[in-house]
Amino acid sequence: MKPYRVLLYYNYTPIPNPEAYREIHHLYCLENNLLGRIIVAPEGLNGTVSGLAEDCERYMQWLENDPIFVGSNFDFKVEAHEKHAFAKLHVRVKEEIVNSDLPVNPRVKTGKHLEPAAFKEMLKNDPDVVLVDMRSNYEHAVGKFKGAITFDMETLRELPEHVQEIEHLKDKKIITYCTGGIKCEKASAYLLERGFENVYQLHGGIIKYGLEEGGEDFEGKCYVFDNRVTTEVNQINPKVISKCYICDTDCDKMVNCANPTCNEHVPICADCLVKMEGACSEECKSHPRKRPYNPDGYYSKQSDNYTPEFGFKSRQKTEVDYSNFRLEV
């Protein structure tokens, strides 16, 4: 039995004082040995964290019992892992819990949620269904649903530039999907704003579909934002769809280039990783800033202005009122 857990979650519930909540949330994670990336925003909370099973269970209970979130649904996606999936802990305050700049509010209007079983059933039996991937190009390059439409976009901010690519499908049933469901809350809402009428979203995303339905027809691996880089999803009919960036052989080993000035997300096979010392090109291999070879292909970002206790030094420190927050479960 793997002793650690990796949690993926989000919650579109307004947080009245994001700065204060960031501080108490970060303190809780530090005291409970949790690592990961958590975003706090006025519109809600988004996180991926790892820790021992008992620490993660306590953390989920703490969130669900917090007065801010009582009555809402976190819908945690929980994967077993042999160790921490992160090297650090970051809890940041941002304007949005997923970068989009889309003029929508998923608490007001969003696509119809499809649980994994209903999603699988609709795909098998409804000829009018069209799957649309709302992730970035480097994510769907290593894995996507069979037959899904993908966009060549770096972030969700670029979605308005690509909607015309599916305008001719407005009479179809559109199902959006992403890693854990968070992007689809806004992406599906945006499609509704643009005149699409039958818009659905895979609730809980690719990860939940893999956990509950075995991941059938998800081809390749799912890109994740921790030091695993990718995770297995399909236990039924797996297929490798990506090729090594260097030698063009079939490969689903997704890595970051060892050159930090490049840091490209690409598939590189084990042989090429060794030969290129983790770099994606000869130029990157000889770059003076190239990081030491890491066979995992993952390199933590350096945050020079960040400390666990105070966040980013560049942010003006504000007086924090802790009276409405608590650490106990």
CA distance 192 to 111: 7
Structure tokens at 63: 């969130």
User: Could you tell me whether strands 199-202 and 112-114 are parallel, antiparallel, or unpaired per DSSP bridges?
Assistant: parallel
**Same domain? 192 vs 283:** no
Does the pLDDT value for residue 305 go beyond 70? no
Is residue 212 assigned to a domain? yes
Task: Specify the pLDDT at position 1.
Answer: 87
Helix (H, G, I), strand (E, B) or coil at 321: coil
Q: Which residue has the higher pLDDT, 315 or 139?
A: 139
Structurally, how many domains does the chain consist of? Answer: 3
Taking the alpha carbons of 116, 117, 122, 125 in that order, is the dihedral positive or negative?
A: positive
Same domain, 144 and 200: yes
Q: Which of 70, 68, 81, 69 is nearest to 8 (CA)?
A: 81
pLDDT band of 308, cuts 50, 70, 90: low
215 has pLDDT over 90: yes
Q: The tokens of 259 are what?
A: 């050159």
**pLDDT (mean) for 238-256:** 95
Whether 190 and 271 map to the same domain: the answer is no
| pLDDT tens digits, one per residue of 1-29 | 899 999 999 999 999 999 999 999 999 99
Q: Do 122 and 39 belong together in one domain?
A: no
Q: Answer whether residue 197 shows pLDDT above 90.
A: yes
pLDDT at residue 329, rounded to an integer: 32
In the structure, what pLDDT confidence band is assigned to residue 295 with cuts at 50, 70 and 90?
A: confident
Residue 172: inside a domain: yes
The answer on 74 and 38 residing in a single domain is yes
Residue 298's pLDDT is what? 81
Is it the case that residue 307 has pLDDT exceeding 70? no
Average pLDDT rounded to a whole number, residues 169-176 = 97
Residue 126 lies in a domain: yes
Whether 8 and 81 map to the same domain: the answer is: yes
Is 275 within a domain?
yes
Residue 160: which CATH number? 3.40.250.10
* pLDDT tier for residue 326 given thresholds of 50, 70 and 90: very low
Residue 271 has pLDDT above 90, yes or no: yes
CATH number, domain at 19? 3.30.70.100
Structure-token match 């899904």, residue found: 148
Alpha-carbon span 257 to 290, nearest angstrom? 9
Domain annotation covers residue 229: no
Question: Do residues 159 and 79 both lie within one domain?
Answer: no
Asked whether residue 44 is assigned to any structural domain, the reply reads yes
Query: What is Dmax (Cα atoms) for the chain?
Result: 58
Tell whether 83 and 10 lie within a shared domain. Answer: yes
pLDDT of residue 313: 42
Question: pLDDT category, 312, cuts 50, 70, 90?
Answer: very low
Question: Model pTM?
Answer: 0.89
Nearest-angstrom CA–CA distance, 208 and 115: 9
* From 29, 178, 257, 269, active-site residue: 178
Assess whether 56 and 84 both reside in one domain.
yes
Domain identity same for 17 and 116: no
Each residue's pLDDT tens digit, 56-86: 999 999 999 999 998 898 999 999 999 999 9
Same-domain check for residues 139 and 50: no
Is 178 one of the annotated active-site residues of the chain? yes
- What is the mean predicted confidence (pLDDT) over 29-40? 97
- Inform me whether the pLDDT recorded for 302 exceeds 80: no
Beta bridge partners of 46: 10, 39
Tell me if 75 is assigned to some domain.
Answer: yes
> Is 264 contained in some domain?
yes
Mean pLDDT, residues 288-310: 73
Domain around 258: 243-290
Phi-psi map region of 17: left, alpha, beta (phi>0 left; psi -120 to 50 alpha)? beta
